[in-house]
Amino acid sequence: EAQVTQNPRYLITVTGKKLTVTCSQNMNHEYMSWYRQDPGLGLRQIYYSMNVEVTDKGDVPEGYKVSRKEKRNFPLILESPSPNQTSLYFCASSTGTKETQYFGPGTRLLVL
């Protein structure tokens, strides 16, 4: 089944404790993105990647890092999480900029 998977689905952590949210897709897509969804702000793009080792900042990249060492994986790293990073995070992938993005099920993060 073609899908985008994210782990963990739910995470509670404390300020400053490094964490990684994994994202994997099995569709051989070149393009991948991370978004966060917040009430009243909709979905905002954090980072995107157009291929292995090619990443670029989205609208709200501060406090986040990403890496794209393999085509299928695009982890989101929070080196020192803060409470304002409490949010619902989505990973997405697509075959190109004109193409449909397929979203993962989301990761709900709470930073205390």
Q: Is 106 in the site for another protein (CB under 8 A)?
A: yes
Two tokens, residue 34: 């991370």
Task: Give the count of alpha carbons within 13 A of 112, CB side only.
Answer: 4
| Phi, psi for residue 58 in degrees, rounded to 5 | -95, -140
Q: Is 42 in the site for another protein (CB under 8 A)?
A: yes
Among 15-23, 54-62, 64-72, 74-82, which window interacts with another protein (CB under 8 A)? 54-62
CB nearer another protein, residue 16 or residue 59: 59
Q: Is 111 in the site for another protein (CB under 8 A)?
A: no
Smallest distance, Å, CB 16 to another protein? 29
CB nearer another protein, residue 80 or residue 105: 105
What DSSP string runs through 41-105?
A: TEEEEEEEEEETTEEEE-S--TT-EE--SSTTB--EEESS--GGG-EEEEEEEESSTTSPPEE--
Instruction: Summarize as ranges the residues that interact with another protein (CB under 8 A).
Output: 4, 31, 33, 35, 40-45, 48-50, 56, 58-59, 90, 92, 94, 97-98, 100-106
